[in-house]
Every structure is written in C-alpha cells, then in structure tokens.
Amino acid sequence: MSDAPSPEDRPSPPAPPPPPGHGGWTAPAWTPTETDPRPEPGTATEPGTAREPDPVAAEWAPTETKPPAPGRHGSALRSAVEWVAIVVAALVAALVIKAFVIQAFYIPSGSMEPTLKVGDRVLVNKLAYHAHPIHRGDIVVFKRPKLEGGAPTIKDLIKRVIGLPGETVESSQGQVVINGQVLHEPYLSTGTTTTGIERQTIPPGQYWVMGDNRSNSRDSRFFHAIPKSLVVGRAFVLVWPLSSLQFL
C-alpha cells in the first residue's frame, strides 16, 4: 500500500493575501436566503409574485388628510348669512310688487260709503289697465287732481267710474243719465240722489268718476273728468277688516 496521503488528507492551499488598503478584512460572500426580499443576482421576479412590504417605506408612506369638519362658529355664520340673504330678497320682492304690481290703500274718508268705510283697506292692481280698458263701475285709485281742493296731505283718491270717453253725462231727477239713459246703480244706498251734473261730453281719454256717497264726495262734479294718466289702478278686493273680506 502506498503511503501517499489521500485527497481528503491533503492540506488546503493557503488563502491569497488581501488586497492593499483593506486592513486584512475580507467581506463575506452574500448568500441568498428564503427570507431575503432581494432577488438573486441574474434572476427576475415572477409576474404576480407579491413581495414583502418594506417596513421603512410603510412607516414613511404619506397618509390621506381630510379637511377639518366645520365648527359651530362656521355653521352659525353660514346660517346668519343665509337668513340675511332671504330677508333682503323678500324686501326687494315686496318693493317691486308694491311699485309695479299690487299696493294696499287705506280709506281715509266716507266718500265711498256704503261700499267702503273709513279705515278699510283695499288692494289695487296696478297692471289691470295694461291688460284691458277701464270699465264703467270699476273702483279706481288715482292721483289727486289739482282742482280737487281737498287736504294737500292726501295724494290719492278712490272713486267709481261712471262715464267713459266720448259719452254725455248729466243728472236728472236725482239720477245719473248717460247718453240719455238713466244709469242703474245698485251699489248706492236706498234713497240716494245725485245732483250737480250739467250736461256735458266727456273728453277723449278721460273718465267721469264719483263717490258712492253722493252727498259727501268731492268728485268729477268738482274737478271734472280725469285723464287716464292719473289712474293708479283698480281696487279689486277689500282685505280689511277681515270680516268684510270680499271682491269689489
């Protein structure tokens, strides 16, 4: 038998000296493990294979921030602004309606009794005569004519239309006569008489107006017929007192 040593018994060759500048330390070789998230060099990650999350990346990942909920102060301020807007809109609407559509008028005298009494309130439609002509029997509000001669504090009057443009009007035997025919006036109190109208022709575009209380009314018998330009509108409903609520 030979005395030569077997390959297992032969001594390992000496390790090569470290390169200069490493101080004698050699970095251990990197060996991939099952728990190492890094892929082995030269290999690719299989599609669809999930990788373990990086704890450091998870710790610093940005989070979605929500705006702070409005506090009580913000809600109260918003409610106050909404109520102010509602009140302003209501006031503007009321002013527009009063100026151009409907206006309430107070009855200051008894010239329209028994139809309207002192203290009554009526609504006047200012658009009525833009849609249709003035009719006989309408109760109208109009600007006080210069010849009226009443209290200067009263700016508007309310009377009933008796004669229309181009008609002849007069009083005879206590009644109103239009174009030679006695005018039927069911709105007058029983026993009412009408006097003081001399026969005359109503000018074009003008109207003869009188109060229902003929003995206590300053009307066209004093200031003659009125032009349509003075007419404010038609009184169409009595709204006060509520017990007397009715259309006129």
What residues are annotated to the active site? 111, 159
Measuring CA to CA, how many Å separate 105 from each of 94, 136, 234? 15, 21, 11
| Nearest Cα residue to 169 out of 185, 184, 180, 160 | 180
Residue listed under structure tokens 């006097």: 195
Say how many CA atoms lie within 13 Å of 172 toward its Cβ.
12
Written as six digits, the tokens of 238 are 């009595």
Encoded tokens for 114: 């028994």
Nearest alpha carbon to residue 125 among 137, 106, 139 = 139
176-182 CB contacts, 8 Å cutoff, 24+ apart: 176/210
Which of these, 163, 202, 199, 198, lies nearest to 183 by C-alpha position?
163
The whole-angstrom separation of Cα 123 and Cα 104 is 4
Asked, as a colleague might, if the bond just before 241 is cis with ω within 30 of 0, I would say: yes
Nearest Cα neighbor of 116 from 126, 106, 125 is 106
